[in-house]
Amino acid sequence: MKYDCLVIGAGLSGCTAARLLAEADKKVLVLEKGRNIAGNCHDYLSEAGVTVHTHGPHIFHTVYKEVWDFLSRFTSFRLFQHRVLSYVHGMTVPFPINRDTLNAVFGENISTQDVQEFLKQEVKNSDFKVPSENFQDAVVCQIGERLYELFYKNYTIKQWGRDPKELSADVAARIPVRSNRDNRYFSDKYQGIPIGGYTKMAEKMLDHPNITLMTGCDYFQIKDNLGSLYDAEKGITVYTGTLDQFFEYKYGNLEYRSLDIQFKTVDKEFYQEAPVVNYPNDYDFTRITEFKHMTGEKSDKTVICMEYPKQTGHPYYAVLTKENMEKRAKYMEEVKALEKTGRFIFTGRLAEYKYYNMDQAVKSAMDKVRGVL
C-alpha cells in the first residue's frame, strides 16, 4: 500500500494536519524524528505525581472557537487562567504591567482611570522612533523607557542573546499592557490545560485507522528510500521541520534560539505563589515555572523548572532579526511555489519561521489542509 500523504513531524501542527487529512479519507504516514510525539508540547507524569512540560510551560489559549472545539474532541480542558509575576526591586509584582504593577513599582496610588494618562506621560518622556524600527521602540512607545528598562530590556537580552535593537518590532506584538487590574497573562476567551496532558491529546489525534506513525525516523535520512511507501509526485507532503533544512540551507542558516531547561523536585507542597515568575534582572535564568499551579494535581512535593536561554541546541524560537527575515523571505518564495502545486504544506513555528502560539499553529495547519483538499 502507498500512502496518500506524508506528514513530517508529530508536533501539534503535524498532528492537526494528519488528523484532518485522515478524516478526508487520505492514508497518512507520519514520520517523527524523536522518540516522543507532541513536539514542544510533550509532557509526562513525574515521580512526584506532577505532570511536567518537557520543553517548558505550555498554556493553551485562543480566540478561535473552531480551534478550541477541534482540540476538545481529543481532550477535556482544565479551565485555567494563567497568571505571571515578575521579580523586580526585590519583590514580585503582576505581569503584564497593570495598575497594581505601577502602584507597587512606583509607590503610587494610581486609579484605573488614570493609568492611561500615566503611561502617556511615561512615553512622552522617552526616546523612540515611529514607526518602530525594532523591539525596543515597539515596547517603549507603549510603556516608556523606565518600565522598559525594568521589565523588558534585560529579560530580552537574556532570552535572545542580543541587543533588543537588533530584534524585529514584531516580537513585541505578543506583549499585553493593561490599564485595569486584570492580572491574567492572556485575555483570550478560551484558556485551559489538557486534562491528562498534551501528549495524551496528541496520541488521540493520531489514533485513526488512516494514520500510521513512525517515531525515531528522520525524514532527511530516509527520504530517498520512501518510494515504496509514498509517491512524492502524486501525494501531499506536510512539512513541520526547520525551514532552512528542507531547502538544504541554500540561502544560509536561519537562527533559532534554544533553551537549557533544568528541572528540580522540591520537597514541599508549593515553591512559589504563581505558575510562572519572571526574573528580568536577576540570575541567568529567565523564569521559574511551577507546574502544579497549572495542573491542579495534589502532591506533597512540587516540580519546578528554570529556563536558561542558549544559542544552540533544540530549536525553540525563530530569531527575528533583519538578516534572518531577509533569508526567510527567500525561503518563503520557494515555499510559495511548492504550495501552489497543491502537493505541499509548510506549517508550524519551524516550517514557517514564525513566532506562533499553539492555537495559531493549529489554525495554520487547519487552514492549509483545507486549502489543499
Residue 67 has a pLDDT of 98
- For residues 226 and 122, the answer to whether their CB atoms sit within 8 Å is no
Q: What pLDDT shows up at residue 123?
A: 95
What pLDDT, on a 0 to 100 scale, did the predictor assign at position 4?
98
Nearest CA to 244 out of 218, 223, 220 is that of 220
Residue 197 grid cell: 496532558
The letter for the amino acid at 95 is: F
Nearest alpha-carbon partner for 310 in 254, 261, 253: 261
HSE (side-chain half, CA atoms, 13 Å) at 304: 17
Give the other-Cβ count within 10 Å of 297's Cβ: 17
Looking at residue 268, its pLDDT comes to: 97
**Rounded-to-integer distance, Cα 347 and Cα 140, Å:** 32
Peptide bond connecting 176 to the previous residue in cis, omega within 30 degrees of 0 = no
Q: In 3-state terms, what secondary structure has residue 230?
A: strand
Ranges of each domain in the chain: 5-37+206-255+319-372, 40-83+256-318, 95-174
The label of the residue with cell 529556563 reads: 307
- Grid coordinates standing for 321? 532579526
CB burial readout 93-116, b (16+ within 10 A) else e: bbbbbbbbbbbebeeeebeeeebe
Residues of the chain with pLDDT under 50: none
CA of residue 170 relative to chain centroid, distance:
15
44 Cβ contact partners less than 8 Å away, ≥ 6 residues apart? 51, 52, 54, 197, 199
C-alpha cell at 329: 523571505
pLDDT of residue 174: 61
Preceding peptide of 209 cis, ω within 30°: no
Statement: 5-37+206-255+319-372 belongs to CATH 3.40.50.720: yes
Place of cell 479551565: 79
Instruction: Please state which CATH class domain 95-174 belongs to.
Output: mainly alpha
Can you read off the three cell numbers belonging to residue 293?
499551579
Question: What pLDDT was estimated at residue 177?
Answer: 84
In sequence order, the β-bridge partners of residue 116 are: none
Q: Which pTM does this prediction carry?
A: 0.96
CB 64 within 8 A of CB 363: yes
Q: Are 86 and 95 in contact (CB under 8 A)?
A: yes
Work out whether strand 5-8 and strand 28-32 pair parallel, antiparallel, or are unpaired: parallel
